């Protein structure tokens, strides 16, 4: 039988939860299902505004790291540079 929560790990016939999912279940027993769900929603999930901000930040990072057109060399110029360096 597979774990009831993650449905990925085989747990045998007598158990219903894998080791990791049992930890989650125990946290839910201690703090309550609603509290754990609230924590997951606020820490792990992003709303559309947060997603847009993340995309914009990533685009800025990629733009600053990627070389621009000024680094491009025509093949003939590159060959000349190689000849001159010898």
Q: Is the CB of residue 24 less than 8 Å from the CB of residue 40?
A: no
**What's the average model confidence in pLDDT over 47-74?**
76
Say if CB 3 and CB 17 are below 8 A apart: yes
Dihedral sign from CA coordinates of 21, 23, 29, 33: negative
Which has more confidence, 68 or 16?
16
pTM confidence score = 0.52
Give the CA dihedral 65, 67, 70, 73, nearest 10 degrees. Answer: 160
Averaged confidence pLDDT in the chain: 83
Mean pLDDT along residues 10-39: 92
Residue 64 has pLDDT above 80, yes or no: no
**Per-residue pLDDT at 73 exceeds 90:** no
pLDDT of the residue at 86: 62
């Amino acid at each position: 039988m597979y774990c009831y929560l993650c449905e990925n790990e085989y747990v045998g016939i007598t158990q219903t939860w894998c080791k990791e999912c049992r930890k989650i279940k125990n946290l839910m027993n201690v703090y309550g299902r609603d509290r754990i769900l609230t924590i997951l929603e606020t820490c792990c999930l992003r709303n559309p505004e947060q997603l847009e901000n993340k995309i914009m930040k990533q685009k800025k990072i990629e733009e600053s790291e990627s070389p621009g057109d000024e680094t491009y060399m025509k093949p003939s110029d590159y060959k000349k540079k190689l000849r001159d360096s010898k």
